[in-house]
A and B are shown apart, each in its own frame.
Chain A
Amino acid sequence: MSDMSDIPDATAPPALEAVGVTKVFPGVIANAGVDLALRRGEVHALLGENGAGKSTLASILTGLYRPDAGELRMDGAPVTLKTPRDGLERGIGMVHQHFRLVERFTVTENIALGDKRLPWRWSAAKVRTEVEQLAGRYRLPIDPDAIVGELSVGERQRVEIVKVLYRGAEVLLLDEPTAVLTPQEADALFVTMRALADDGRAVVFISHKLREVMAVSDVVTVMRDGAVVDDVRTADTDPEALARAMVGRSVDLSTRWARSAPGEPVLKLAGLRLDAVDGRGRLEDIDLEVRAGEIVGVAGVAGNGQRELAETIAGLRRPDGGTVQVLHRDITGVRPSQARMAGLAYVPEDRLGTGLAPSLSVTENLQLTRSLPFLIDRRGGLAHATEVIERFDVRTTGPGAAVGTMSGGNAQKVLLARELDVRDGLTRAIVVAAPTRGLDVGATEFVRDLLDARRADGCAILLISEDLDEVRALSDRIVVLSEGRIVLRREAADAEVTELGLAMAGQATPNDAPDEPSQGPSGGPYHEPGGPR
């Protein structure tokens, strides 16, 4: 580790610098002449919408991609990084959004992996000591002997951070680190980031969340469409200015709640129960009503039963108890096609692979959940696809293009066109999971508009997402799922981040107890607290 100083020296050359970096992918200019200076002792936020080029820039800074033009400099000297190992060996470490960990290894094994300083016949003991030291110094509590596959998302992130610190990283890049954390976990992460900067490291915080950027960073660089559009000290700016720079126009930061009062209950879950398989995927006594014309958001940390809840409602899993009703019709444990016939649409979080078959064409994917005649109507399918492409502004080479070759936003449009664009009035209840994940600002607004329109049509929408910001932005009412139970229910207007975060972490206060006095575990009609009457 190099000599440390408490005060960043503004005259010293930056620890890592990008000068005029350009990266072109087929059809996309991901980075266009980007300049970025990362200094020791600073937390540097890299702000931008999805698709602005942040991740590409990070990949160039860490050696995963090589710039097509421009160069990198370390402490003022030009440097060429050929692989991520080059970056790592020069002290540039990255914590990816999708963790790079071997699930079957222990924490220590993961951290020792690839460390050439270790003797060929290595022993875990020495590494474990170092891991414990680093973890203690930066307040990153982890158990060195735990199997990574059994850790929570937050714990895995701490392992990733210790891993890059163990390898001697002087420049640390964290890509959207808070997306999967509870607000409290995020706050703890900010403390760690500050401690790392104070220790003389350069910390990069990649995010699209204004609140967090304002809270933790010293410097902000804003990117849009692959270029740097703003580069300021955090103290000299405000959220509105950053938002404008990020999106390129004024944006409405407020949430949109339903304008009219919700109607009768459409989707009713009563005492829904799913027993654990291998200690995972448990659901316990889920009671929930979604009424016509409202969006109910389900918040929670990944792996707390969200997927199981959605799949049980959609008929993909048979519950071990309780009932699912759509408009008074019991669809508990029916086949997915029958659930659909009853008026339920389901948009799964995994677009390519579950919601869509990647190698199949747009035309064929639009037929996936439709009932088809024995001989497929090819002409009709083609006409429908052409019409959808036109009306939803899907950017593709044509109805015959495989959806796997399209961008995330355009693929999502195909999926939503199939599940949400129902004009026959049959669909009354919609379950959507993470509908805007990974989409750029335009596509996100498109999805929100579509959900708004369906809500206005009187559909009951259940929105499930691990991204608390997404849930808060879209929902009229919020419930929190933790370890397969609903631990908190709030009107969106009354929901406070702190309270939601504590509930997500499974620490609901006793007076928030969700069990309704009017009903037992066997289910039955009940009234939820605080709902508008």
Chain B
Amino acid sequence: MTSWFGRLRLEKRNAPGTGVLLLVPLVSVVAALLFGAVFLSLIGLAPVAVYREMLRVSYTTGYGIADTLVSATPLILTGLAAAIAFRFKLYNIGGEGQLYVGAIAASGAALAFGDRLTGPAAILLVIVAGALGGAVWIAVPALAKAWLGTSEIITSLLLNYVALFLMQYLIFGARTFWRDPESATFPQGARIPDATRLPTLGTTRVNLGLVVAVLAAVVLYLLLTRTRIGYRWRVFGDAPAAARYAGIPSRQVIVVVLLLSGALAGLAGATEVAGRAGRLDPTGLALNIGYNGIIVAALARYNPLAVIPVGLLLGGVLNAGPALQTLPGARVPVAISTMLTGAILLFALAGELFVRYRIRMRDPADVEELAEQATTAVASPRAGTGPEAEA
């Protein structure tokens, strides 16, 4: 009587296997590429050729791989920023603005004090300033969330626009401390002292920032899984009432997690200033690194260690868009990257259902067999704890 569709059922998985966890992001990427192919065809481009070019500029040449690593560095950091917050149901979507302010703070500190420092101290200065800048930018949403109960989602997001205007003001709006006084017609940020630049790996543009990002991921992972602090955060994220019951101070958790999240995004801004750009560069920063961090975190299922490979993968996709523009006769819209990453996230979200549930088709023969078992089981009297059907 019932159709095959009627016999489909969703069963909750206890613990998803590694296979599903890996398969979902991979299938999402492939599906997004197919989807992107449709759009590319619509505007009269050959998808296969475009994708081959993307592979070349991002993954298959030495130069391309280096570029991908450079793109991945801030992405891993904003990915960690989103992962650490989202994991505990604190939705900091202001990573973009925290990155800008981190970059402003890092370049400001470098310009102000960089001349007087050398070696590790100079680099530490930039990194700490960036992290502080990011933390300051989430402070108001964090405190409002903890003490007033204001949803952090919209407050943190709206501050992205405020940060963007602030950055534009510092470079384009007036002759500020951050602006290169030489650049009158095409304003740009002042160069930071060389001592405050992150050292690069050999002759490539890959810099110390990548090491910082990977280190941050490992430290976060250990913090979450091995320490009392991480344990308390996990209780809070899973069941706030249980955290309250256990005497875990919720407000403190909210503020600390969000500040840490903001600091990581700010750190991403610092690595951009002291690494790739060497100055506060508004156009170079405004590439949605903060938003894309959320995609990285979601694909990594908010696991800090998984953020590293996902960041490297998406770093290549994001690098490809601008890189294709530099090729002669390029007609591929730069937005191909944004569209693809957005599509990857959408597919991954749909795939999440298969991580959480198992889809089963019920065979009517099974049911009869089970019913038979049931009757025999009941016939033999048994006492004590049975499985609870009405739990």
Query: Which residues of A come within 8 Å of B, CB atoms?
Result: 22, 24-30, 32-33, 50-56, 68-69, 80, 224-227, 247-249, 314-316, 335-337, 340, 346, 348, 350, 352-360, 364, 367-369, 372-376, 378, 393, 395, 397, 400-402, 405, 407-409, 438-440, 442-443, 446
Report yes or no: B367 in contact with A408, Cβ–Cβ below 8 A: no
Besides A51-B386, A248-B381, A353-B241, 17 other CB < 8 A contacts? Answer: A33-B371, A51-B391, A52-B389, A68-B367, A68-B371, A80-B1, A248-B383, A336-B245, A350-B241, A354-B241, A368-B235, A375-B228, A376-B231, A395-B385, A402-B15, A409-B385, A440-B388
| CB proximity of B250 to chain A, nearest CB, Å | 12
Instruction: Establish whether residues B247 and A32, one from each chain, have CB atoms under 8 Å apart when the complex forms.
Output: no
Q: How far is the CB of A242 from chain B (nearest CB, A)?
A: 17
Q: Are B390 and A438 in contact (CB under 8 A)?
A: yes
* Chain B positions within 8 Å of A346 at CB level: 245
Contacts of A68 in B (CB 8 A): 362, 367, 370-371
| Residues on A with beta carbons closer than 8 Å to the beta carbon of B384 | 442
Interface residues on B, range: 35 or more
Interface string of B225-246 (1 = CB under 8 A from A): 0111101001100110111111
Q: Which residues of B does A touch, CB under 8 Å? A: 1, 11-12, 14-15, 226-229, 231, 234-235, 238-239, 241-247, 362, 367-368, 370-371, 373-375, 377-378, 381-391
B390–A376 contact, CB under 8 A?
no
Cβ-defined contact, A55 with B14, below 8 A: no
* Complex CA–CA separation, A367 to B241 (angstroms): 16
CA–CA, A408 to B390, complex, Å? 9
Query: Can you pick out 20 interface pairs between chain A and chain B where the beta carbons lie within 8 Å of each other?
Result: A22-B371, A28-B388, A29-B389, A33-B374, A50-B390, A53-B389, A54-B390, A55-B390, A56-B390, A68-B367, A226-B374, A352-B239, A357-B242, A358-B239, A360-B235, A374-B229, A395-B385, A395-B387, A405-B12, A442-B384
The answer to whether B391 touches A409, judged by C-beta atoms less than 8 angstroms apart, is yes
**Residue on B with the closest CB to A49?**
B386
CA distance A400 to B241 in the complex (A): 22
Q: A358-B239, A376-B231 are in contact. Are A28 and B367 (CB under 8 A)?
A: no
CB distance B242 to A353 under 8 Å?
Answer: yes
The answer on a CB contact under 8 Å between A225 and B386 is: yes
Given A27-B387, A53-B389, A376-B226, decide whether A336 and B246 contact each other with a Cβ distance below 8 A.
Answer: yes
Assuming the A-B contacts A350-B241, A359-B238, A372-B231, are A442 and B386 also in contact, with contact meaning beta carbons closer than 8 angstroms in the complex? yes
Q: Which residues of B contact A357 (CB under 8 A)?
A: 234-235, 238-239, 242-243
State the CA gap A316–B386 with chains docked (Å): 35
Contact A405 B14 (CB under 8 A): yes
- Chain B residues within an 8 Å CB radius of A360: 234-235, 238
Q: Give bound CA distance, A355 to B245, whole Å.
A: 7
Give every chain A residue within 8 A of B234 (Cβ-Cβ).
357, 360, 364
Which residues of chain A are near B391, meaning CB under 8 Å? 51, 407-409, 438
Task: List residues of chain A with CB within 8 A of the CB of B383.
Answer: 247-249, 442
